[in-house]
Amino acid sequence: MSLDLPELIAAEPTTRPAVTYDRYWLQTLVMRAPSPGQPADATVVLARYSSADGSLSGETVTLTVADLFTRAAGDQQLAAAMAALLEAVKNIAAADGLVDA
Protein backbone atom coordinates (compact mmCIF):
# COMPACT_ATOMS: atom_id res chain seq x y z
CA MET A 1 0.00 0.00 0.00
CA SER A 2 1.44 3.33 -1.05
CA LEU A 3 0.92 6.53 0.91
CA ASP A 4 0.25 9.87 -0.72
CA LEU A 5 2.39 12.16 1.40
CA PRO A 6 2.43 15.93 0.96
CA GLU A 7 5.62 17.60 -0.24
CA LEU A 8 7.16 20.12 2.13
CA ILE A 9 8.46 22.87 -0.13
CA ALA A 10 10.88 25.34 1.44
CA ALA A 11 9.84 28.98 1.37
CA GLU A 12 13.51 29.88 0.80
CA PRO A 13 15.32 27.10 -1.07
CA THR A 14 19.01 26.52 -0.36
CA THR A 15 21.34 25.52 -3.14
CA ARG A 16 24.44 23.53 -2.31
CA PRO A 17 27.10 22.95 -4.92
CA ALA A 18 27.95 19.38 -5.80
CA VAL A 19 30.13 17.72 -3.18
CA THR A 20 33.27 15.90 -4.27
CA TYR A 21 34.03 12.91 -2.09
CA ASP A 22 37.79 12.78 -2.65
CA ARG A 23 39.11 10.93 0.41
CA TYR A 24 38.60 7.76 2.39
CA TRP A 25 38.12 7.81 6.15
CA LEU A 26 39.29 4.70 8.03
CA GLN A 27 35.99 4.04 9.77
CA THR A 28 36.65 0.60 11.26
CA LEU A 29 39.76 -1.50 11.84
CA VAL A 30 39.33 -4.95 13.38
CA MET A 31 42.26 -7.30 13.83
CA ARG A 32 41.70 -10.92 14.85
CA ALA A 33 44.36 -13.37 16.00
CA PRO A 34 42.47 -16.42 17.32
CA SER A 35 45.58 -18.04 18.84
CA PRO A 36 49.39 -17.88 18.53
CA GLY A 37 49.39 -20.75 16.01
CA GLN A 38 46.73 -19.30 13.70
CA PRO A 39 46.99 -16.47 11.18
CA ALA A 40 46.00 -12.95 12.19
CA ASP A 41 43.55 -11.23 9.86
CA ALA A 42 42.30 -7.65 9.58
CA THR A 43 39.10 -6.14 8.27
CA VAL A 44 39.12 -2.48 7.31
CA VAL A 45 36.07 -0.36 6.45
CA LEU A 46 36.80 2.81 4.50
CA ALA A 47 34.14 5.50 4.08
CA ARG A 48 34.25 8.07 1.29
CA TYR A 49 34.25 11.65 2.51
CA SER A 50 34.75 15.20 1.28
CA SER A 51 37.93 16.98 2.35
CA ALA A 52 36.17 20.28 1.59
CA ASP A 53 33.48 19.94 4.26
CA GLY A 54 34.14 16.63 6.02
CA SER A 55 30.82 15.10 5.00
CA LEU A 56 30.54 11.35 4.51
CA SER A 57 28.98 9.99 1.35
CA GLY A 58 27.48 6.92 3.02
CA GLU A 59 29.42 4.71 0.59
CA THR A 60 31.90 2.30 2.20
CA VAL A 61 34.49 -0.17 0.96
CA THR A 62 35.51 -3.20 3.03
CA LEU A 63 39.00 -4.66 2.71
CA THR A 64 40.12 -7.93 4.23
CA VAL A 65 43.82 -8.56 4.80
CA ALA A 66 44.49 -12.25 5.40
CA ASP A 67 47.47 -13.55 7.36
CA LEU A 68 48.90 -10.20 8.47
CA PHE A 69 52.21 -11.50 9.80
CA THR A 70 53.07 -13.45 6.65
CA ARG A 71 52.19 -10.41 4.57
CA ALA A 72 54.20 -8.14 6.89
CA ALA A 73 57.27 -10.32 6.37
CA GLY A 74 57.36 -9.04 2.78
CA ASP A 75 56.13 -5.50 3.42
CA GLN A 76 58.43 -3.29 5.51
CA GLN A 77 55.78 -0.61 6.08
CA LEU A 78 53.20 -3.14 7.30
CA ALA A 79 55.83 -4.79 9.53
CA ALA A 80 56.69 -1.41 11.10
CA ALA A 81 53.00 -0.60 11.62
CA MET A 82 52.32 -3.97 13.26
CA ALA A 83 55.38 -3.58 15.54
CA ALA A 84 54.33 -0.04 16.53
CA LEU A 85 50.75 -1.13 17.24
CA LEU A 86 51.84 -4.08 19.37
CA GLU A 87 54.34 -1.88 21.25
CA ALA A 88 51.61 0.69 21.95
CA VAL A 89 49.26 -2.04 23.21
CA LYS A 90 52.08 -3.36 25.44
CA ASN A 91 52.66 0.13 26.88
CA ILE A 92 48.95 0.65 27.56
CA ALA A 93 48.69 -2.81 29.17
CA ALA A 94 51.76 -2.02 31.32
CA ALA A 95 50.28 1.33 32.39
CA ASP A 96 47.11 -0.55 33.42
CA GLY A 97 49.18 -3.08 35.38
CA LEU A 98 48.30 -6.02 33.11
CA VAL A 99 51.86 -6.79 31.93
CA ASP A 100 55.37 -5.99 33.09
CA ALA A 101 56.91 -2.93 31.44
| Over residues 59-78, mean pLDDT | 93
Rounded Cα distance, 72 and 79, in Å? 5
Asked if residue 98 lies in contact with residue 81, where contact means CB atoms within 8 angstroms, the answer is no
Say whether pTM exceeds 0.75. no
Q: Is residue 40 part of a domain?
A: yes
Q: Is residue 42 part of a domain?
A: yes
Q: How many domains does the structure of the chain reveal?
A: 2
| Interval 6-42: pLDDT, tens | 676 767 766 667 888 888 999 999 999 989 889 999 9
pLDDT score recorded for residue 42? 95
Band (74; pLDDT cuts 50, 70, 90) = very high
CA 41 to chain CA centroid, nearest Å: 14
Asked if residue 52 lies in contact with residue 20, where contact means CB atoms within 8 angstroms, the answer is yes
| Interval 43-66: pLDDT, tens | 999 998 888 888 888 889 999 999
Phi, psi (rounded to 5 degrees) for 50 = -100, 125
The residue range of the domain holding 23 is: 19-66
Rounded Cα distance, 83 and 91, in Å? 12
Rounded Cα distance, 40 and 33, in Å? 4
Q: Is residue 13 part of a domain?
A: no
Query: Are 43 and 32 part of one and the same domain?
Result: yes
Q: Is residue 5 part of a domain?
A: no
Q: Is residue 95 part of a domain?
A: yes
